[in-house]
Structures are given as C-alpha cells and as structure tokens.
Structure 1
Amino acid sequence: MASSTRRSSLSVRGWSVDPFPAEFAAIRSLRAGHPGGSASHASDRVTAGPDAGLTSAAEIPSRPPGSTCAAETPRCEGPQLPRRSHGRRSGPVPGDELNTLSVVIPALNEAPNLPTVVNSVPTSALRALGWETEVIVVDNASTDDTAAVAAALGATVVSQPERGYGNAYHAGFRAARGDVIATGDADCTYPFDSLPELLGTLTEADVEFMTTNRLRRENRSAMKRSHTVANYALSALSRALFRNGLRDSQSGMWVFRRYVWDGVDVKSTGMAFSQEIKNAATRAGYRYLEVPIEYRNRQGEVKLNALPDGMANLRQLFEHRFRRPGGERPARYERRHTPA
C-alpha cells in the first residue's frame, strides 16, 4: 500500500513502481519556460491507489488523421492506426513499447468547439515522442455540422445515433485502435495539450488506468458552484463505497491501456459512465493513479441536466457497489512485490 509521504519508490495498488526520476520525471517535463507550465504545479497532489504523496501536472500544443464509420462498424474508412493483434490481452508484457494512441472525444452539437478541441491534440509533439495518434470524434446524434467539421479537421468520425454520454464512449472505444486510449469532452474544458505529460506519467509510473482531478482551487472559476458542490458530494460517496481514494469521480479525462476496457463491465449509457469506468477499473485491481489537471471554461451549450443526471449517478453508485462482480476480473502478468 502506498504511503502518504514521499519515498524513493511508490506502491501503486500493490504493484512496485521504482523510483520516479527526479521526483516524477514524466510530469516534470513541465520543462522550464514551456508555455502553460508552472512551477506551482510541483506541489500538486497525485493519488496513486488509495493514497499516496507525489508531485505533478503540465501542458503543451499542436494538430491531427480523417474518415467516418457507424457505431456498430468496428472498422472505418480512411487513415487509421494499425490494430495490434493482441485482442483481449491480459496485461502489458514487460518490455513492450506502447506507441499507438486513440484520443476519443464524444460530441453532441459541438461543431463550433471542434476546431479548438481537435487542434489542441498535440499530434506533432506526440509523434516526436514516439506516439502514433488517431483522433476519434463520436457524433452522438448531433443536429448541427459536428460530423462534417470533425471530418474536415482530419478526425475519424464515429456515428452513435443512440444519445447518451456512455453510449458515445461505448461506440468510440469499439472503433479505437490504439494500445492506449485517452478521453475528454468536446467543450474546450479538458487540456488535451497536456497529453505528452500524461502519457509520460502513465508509462513511468507503470499504471494501467489514470484518471484526473479537476477539483482544485485553481479551477474554481471554470465550474458553477452548484456543479462543484455536486461533484464533491458524489466523489465523497464514491470514495466511501469503493474505497479507492479518488478525489474526482466525475472527471471526463482518463488515459488508460486498451486492455483495461476489455477487462471491465461498464454498463452505463449516460453521464454515470464516468464514475463507473473509474470504479470498475479500480475494483478490478488494475494499477491506477489520479493526477491533477487544469480545467478550463466551457464553451457553447451546457449538456448536463444537473438534477436528473445527479440522481442517476447516485442510483448507479449503489447499484454498482452491490452488483455481483462479473466482468471486472483482469488476468495480469506476474505481480512484482516490493521487498519486505
């Protein structure tokens, strides 16, 4: 179990993670003088497993490939990443190089925001770091030009006619071809330009599922007070029920290894999908981490229906907690124990 004080090594969910070069080198790639980088991030708290003390956060910029496909069609026309033939692999094989990334973005009537969002995915910087990246925009039955704009920007467009946040992700994950999947909304709130640092953390900390924490003092102006209170309340209840230590159960930005999705049974079709995928991954025993991010002001129309969505999330937490475990049983490669 991780300690809440700094150590030369970190135990993430029972797995040994050897020293972070210079106290978290991955995110320390917050290189001095880097646009958007800030020395104040060095004191941010990261949750590894139920509790751990580390340091973190950062940013970076650039642009993205193109095509369309139906939600039920696993293949799309147009440029795509080659899919590796590991299928439902049980876990990463030591020494494997992770070099393909799928960025999945659900979108409902987000045509005006897509140029900013898609172009903020730093594909050039990621390519320089050895990541081949595809951007997938899931058109969730939009009535505007979301699909056309996304395709014009070079993204792969997946059509999901069944509305719902969870429905969009189910369709997007089916189409994703990367070894690693990253997510975020199409409303300009999530820092896709931080993906190089987030991927560095995923690999250097050797975790399988990484989620993000928006609930920091610096981000208060980007979220309505009522939404902030609801997020804190749902997150506290989620922690109490699942005992995973996650501070922000509702964050929509996650970075995880593809096989994690194959190893969990996420049923939600709506907004509760966000909390369910986190609780499913941590409950299944995958190595996980929570890192702080910058959360930005929303652009365009708010899609969240506060009261009905909040009540649905509340019901889902209890339903999931007392659901008999079924699909959340990952097979792992040899566990590495920290010497006593």
Structure 2
Amino acid sequence: MFHVKLPGHDAIARQADEHLVTHRVKLPRKVVERPIRQVVKRLAMALFVLAATAFIVWVDRDGYNDNAGDGVDFLDSLYYATVTLSTTGYGDITPVSDAARLTNIFVITPLRVLFLIILVGTTLEVLTERTREEWRLNRWRAALRDHTVVVGFGTKGRSAVQTVCATGLKKEQVVVVDPSAKAVDAATAEGYAGVIGDATRSDVLMRAEVHKARQIIIATQRDDTAVLVTLTARQLNRQAKIVAAVREEENAPLLKQSGADAVITSASAAGRLLGLSVLSPSAGMVMEDLIQQGSGLDIVERPVVKAEVGKGVRETDDLVVSVVRGHRVLGYDDPAIGKLQLTDRLITIVRVTPGTRVTPHSRPLPQD
C-alpha cells in the first residue's frame, strides 16, 4: 500500500485520506478551515437565508392566502419559507397579490437556489476538489523532470534536501519518498512533494517519477533498505546520479556495487568530525561551515572557464582544493594536473555573502 502526496491539501480531502491511504496525490495549496467550522458556517448561512425569506413573506403577509382561512402570521411565514426553500411546496399558503408573486419570482426563487447550493455545497466542493486535484496532478507529472528524489525524510534526508535547496534547487523540483505518513506530512508542509510508501518497490518510485529524475538521495534508516532502494532506483534510471548514506562503513562497497555513485558513511563521518573538533575546535567549526551551504564558506564545484585554460591551479582567482578530470579527482598539489583543461571541473572554496547564492556548478551569483 502506498500513498502519493504533494504539499498542502483541502481539509475535507485530508479527512478522507486518513481512511484511504493509496493512490493519492496532493499539490501545494493554502490551509483551509476545519470541516466542522465549514459545516457550522454553512448551517449559519442556511438559517440566515431561511430567516430572511420568512421576514420577506411576513412583511408582505397581506399578499398571501392561507387555505385554512386564517391570516398569515409570522409562524405561517416561517412555515411557508421552510417548505418553499426545501422545494416541498404543499400549496396551502400561496401568493395571491401581484407584489407577492413578483417577490417570489425575483427574490424568493434566487434565495431557494442559494439555499440548495449551501446545503449541497460540501458535496460539490469535494467533487470539484477531486477534479481540480486530478488536473493539477496530471499537470505536475507532465512538467516534472530532472528533479531530485529524496528517499527518507529523517534527519539525514531533511538536511540533504535543505542543502541542495540552498544551492538554488526549487522546492517544486523535490519529491520525498518515505514509509511514514507523518514524515511525508512534514515534507509537504515545507513545500516538497511526497510519496508515502516502501521505496524498495518500483511502483512507489515510479509514482515519484524517479525514471525522469536527475539525482536521487537515499537516506534510509537501515543499510539493507538503502541497498534495495539503490538497486531498484538504478534499474529504473540508468543516468541519474545516486548518492546514498549508510550507517556502517563495511556496507559502503555494497552500495557502490548496487549502483550508487557516492556513498556517505553517516556514523563514521560524524565520528571523524567529532574527533577533529576535539583535536582542533576551530578546524571542526571550519569543516561544519564548509558542509553547511548558504552561509560563510561553501565548497562548490564549477567548470573551468576559457580564461583559466592553460593556467595552473594556483593561478586561478578561486581557492581550488581539487580538480575533477574525467572520472578522477586530483588534489590541488597533484603533479598530474599540469595545466587546466576546458573539460576540467574545479572544486573550490568560496565565501557566501548576504545577497548571493551559490549553485553547485557555478560561481556565486547575485540574488534576483
């Protein structure tokens, strides 16, 4: 069983989703009132229309005839308004004067229509909402491509998606997959699309449009789950860049054999950062600053520009720490680098100042 959701949703549809947790998609929308408040408001509106109609009839009571032979008092006016608005129409009280008949045509009939709309408004709203949601879902699927799929929205997944979004990725280009409904609710609340389900199943990943994704981040809680997700994702998308996190370092080679382009050992990485901070708190702070995108020092990858071709690493304006040449990552002091080539990519450290944003493949850019 799985459930596809996109950020935000109508409260009525939300209530239905609690019982039907399959094949549903939610797209961003404003938070609306609770269902109880909506019902109370519609009930109040219906009572107001009823009271207004009764008052109009009572004011023009001389233009109505009661078959019982008595005059039309306020109770008769309320009775007439009730049977008229509900389209029951017993016919025991009828308008006889021209003024009363004109009032029925131009005032009471529109009020009757309004009354019926209020009564069936909830049903109409649900039907309209489903149609609108289906249209938005189809439009979303048609437009979604080259996006980022994040499997697991725990601490690692949330931090990963915040980092890539800090480099310029739009939230509309992120789809979160998690078996926990609460985790996906948290993701949709932050503006990301979400799929509730087991990411080891290909049909769940297909609903996240993983076959059209540019990059896939796997941040599951279990290493064996990460391996299965990687295998499934790589089978569905041969070109996507897959980055996975594992707890145990001994499982990293298995992730790479399964198709991951890069594997991060979360426990070891945290331990090394702790050890570095013990040896040098300042160095630990610098490393933390480097991996936290969007402020202070950022480490980014960018292409070599034409003006840098033929120059040495130290002759560039940026602080280069590595050069990516083909499938090799060369340190800045590696003699094999020689002169920079147009096909090289540079891993540099830049300072991010307020009013700039840094993309992972470019120099810092001014904010729009």
TM-score (structure 1 length as normaliser): 0.29
Q: Return the structure number with greater helix share.
A: 2
Q: Which structure: larger Rg?
A: 2
TM-score (structure 2 length as normaliser): 0.27
